[in-house]
Amino acid sequence: MAGSVHIGFAKLATPTKGTIFVLTDKTLALSETASKVAADFPATLKKAAGTAKFEGGVLKLLDLLAPAGSSADRIVVVGLGEPDKMQLHDWLRLGGKIGGALASAEQVTIVLDRADAIPVEADQAAALAQGLALRCYRFDKYKTKPPENGTPAKSVKVTISTAGNVAAARAWKTESAVADGAAFARDLVNEPANALGPVEFADRLLALKDLGVVVEVLDEKALTRSKMGALLGVSQGSVRPPRVVVMTWKGGKAKDKPVAFVGKGVVFDTGGISIKPAAGMEDMKGDMGGAAAVAGLMHAVAARKAKANIVGIVGLVENMPDGHAQRPGDIVTSMSGQTIEVLNTDAEGRLVLADILTYIQKKAKPTHIVDLATLTGAIIVALGHHHAGMFCNKDDMATDLAAAGTHTGEKLWRMPLDPEYDKLIESKNADMKNIGGRWGGAITAAQFIQRFVENETPWAHLDVAGTAMGSPASDTNQSWASGFGVRLLDQYIRARFE
């Protein structure tokens, strides 16, 4: 699933064919194995480096085509700069850089061996492989012709040749599960809404059963029986019926309560009767990025057999403006019993989250809750595309999540919650209204969601509107959808619950 690249590990040896990647550092030194890729290679490297002004800096590449004294097609020298200063995330990015430099190669060997003779650790090798896989992800299922230039459509075989190949291969088994989870999330977000309605989304989640996830699909009747008036209000303007899907992974002790992940899954957000402007509305096919991240996370934890109890829930609806659509001013009763005055039908995500939060708390009594949602344009105004907004009612949980963000490069920035902001969603006619006025829109949205968290359960809300899709291309992602949240939350689970 992780793109068109197949990655394997082999014992350290000097390759002779295809495209070969070797490592160097800021001294331009090579390991013994790497120095043998061509006759007199250390001298060739020094000369070529001088011409190309290549200094072995971290994440820098030097490309040598048809190298003399070698039967290889191409040798690419990869800079580590000062290798000891590299964080795990730098190894991931390095894998991404390599993935971006495969060009039309079909057979690739990476000689993963340091010039300073310090072994490349298994987790570093696996991070590199993961970065490579993430970078090679492509959403091209609707392309009927291959691209004119660049990477070939057919699959590439990459062999990572390293001294610790057995341990690295074991670590890669885990990391490839997570890369596959991210690819699963990206596929869902990239898919156009005509192909992916609530029912089709739910059907795709059934595939998680093969990994041992218990998947329950609630249809419209079941949602009505559960009295999910807020979610159903959003859905009622669409001809496509809603779904809620609960995914359960039991990898921990039977008696332990789970951690819950909750995702906004608006398969398309027109705004409803409070309709959005036409320009850019196509991006709202990605308004299920939170739900996709929860799905990708469930894939990841199940495929790597996480030793924790985890439950995921997604609310899948389409926000459309037909004759049945809800109107501004309508008052709906949420599953929690709290009433909501819907003053803007485009503030729909919080209505969906409210009911699935209540549902999952009743059903699973989670110890912690993390929700993810492409919830507000305001968070993009505040943070742009490089941090997701984090709202959290417990400092230690916020610290754990932020640490997972730094570790994976899926960064979070904490935003405030405060009773003063909560006042802004008081309603004259109901218990609350679904908008808070012009300022602090991401915060009032978070305050709204907090009203559905019971008994001070540790809870975090991640507003991923700026990071789940449409973020700039990076070393590890070239597609519109990023899969943001899968690696972050997998790391959070590993560090905190396993």
**474 has which bridge partners?**
477
For 185, counting Cβ atoms within 10 Å of its Cβ (0-12 exposed, 13-18 middle, 19+ buried), the class is: buried
- Output the CA torsion 187→192→197→203 (10° steps): -30
Rounded to 5 degrees, what are φ and ψ at 362?
A: -65, -45
Select from 25, 175, 187, 269 the one that contacts ligand BES (CB under 6 A): 269
Select from 191, 348, 371, 490 the one that contacts ligand BES (CB under 6 A): 348
- Rounded to whole angstroms, the Cα distance separating 434 from 351 reads 8
- Rounded to whole angstroms, the Cα distance separating 88 from 80 reads 12
Which CB atom, from 157 or from 276, has the smaller least distance to ligand BES?
276
Q: Which of 204, 276, 394, 496 is flagged as catalytic?
A: 276
Q: What is the largest CA-CA distance in the chain?
A: 82
- Rounded to whole angstroms, the Cα distance separating 475 from 483 reads 14
Select from 90, 113, 175, 346 the one that contacts Mn ion (CB under 5 A): 346
* Residue 463 binds Mn ion, judged by CB under 5 A: no
DSSP helix/strand/coil, 345: coil
Select from 33, 376, 476, 491 the one that contacts ligand BES (CB under 6 A): 376
Active-site annotation holds for 276: yes
**392 has which bridge partners?**
460
- Rounded to whole angstroms, the Cα distance separating 107 from 15 reads 11
- Look-up of token digits 């249809």: 219
Which CB atom, from 110 or from 316, has the smaller least distance to ligand BES?
316
Select from 113, 187, 269, 341 the one that contacts Zn ion (CB under 5 A): 269
Half-sphere CA count of 88, side-chain side, radius 13 A? 16
The contact mask relative to ligand BES for 461-480 (x = CB under 6 A, - = no) is ----x---------------
* Residue 349 binds Zn ion, judged by CB under 5 A: yes
Which CB atom, from 272 or from 296, has the smaller least distance to Zn ion?
272
The contact mask relative to ligand BES for 57-96 (x = CB under 6 A, - = no) is ----------------------------------------
107-111, strands of its sheet edge to edge: 5-10, 156-161, 107-111, 19-24, 74-79, 61-65
The minimum distance between CB 369 and Zn ion, in angstroms, equals: 20
Contact window for ligand BES (CB under 6 A) among 55-63, 100-108, 234-242, 343-351: 343-351
Whether 92 and 176 have beta carbons less than 8 Å apart is answered as no
Inter-axis angle of helices 289-303 and 198-205, to 10 degrees?
10
| Tokens linked to 344 | 């803007």
- Output the CA torsion 139→145→150→156 (10° steps): 70
DSSP helix/strand/coil, 318: strand
The minimum distance between CB 174 and Mn ion, in angstroms, equals: 37
Inter-axis angle of helices 349-364 and 441-450, to 10 degrees?
30
Contact window for Zn ion (CB under 5 A) among 18-26, 102-110, 285-293, 364-372: 285-293
Active-site annotation holds for 365: no
* Residue 128 binds ligand BES, judged by CB under 6 A: no
Whether 203 and 285 have beta carbons less than 8 Å apart is answered as no
How many residues at the interface with Zn ion, by CB under 5 A?
A: 4
Which CB atom, from 291 or from 465, has the smaller least distance to ligand BES?
465
Whether 460 and 438 have beta carbons less than 8 Å apart is answered as no
Which CB atom, from 113 or from 346, has the smaller least distance to ligand BES?
346
The minimum distance between CB 219 and Mn ion, in angstroms, equals: 24
Which CB atom, from 266 or from 295, has the smaller least distance to Zn ion?
266
- Rounded to whole angstroms, the Cα distance separating 339 from 346 reads 18
Select from 349, 366, 409, 458 the one that contacts ligand BES (CB under 6 A): 349
Residues 6+ apart with CB under 8 A from 275: 321, 346
Select from 269, 341, 422, 490 the one that contacts Mn ion (CB under 5 A): 269
* Residue 238 binds ligand BES, judged by CB under 6 A: no
* Residue 287 binds ligand BES, judged by CB under 6 A: yes
Q: Supply the Cα-derived Rg of the chain in whole angstroms.
A: 24
**Residue 306 interacting entry, from ligand BES, Zn ion, Mn ion, none, C-beta within 5 to 8 Å by type:** none
The minimum distance between CB 319 and Zn ion, in angstroms, equals: 7
Select from 175, 287, 371, 463 the one that contacts Zn ion (CB under 5 A): 287
Q: Which residues bind Mn ion (CB under 5 A)?
A: 269, 346, 348
Active site residues: 276, 350
Q: Which residues bind ligand BES (CB under 6 A)?
A: 269, 287, 344, 346-349, 374-378, 435, 441, 465
Q: Which residues bind Zn ion (CB under 5 A)?
A: 266, 269, 287, 349
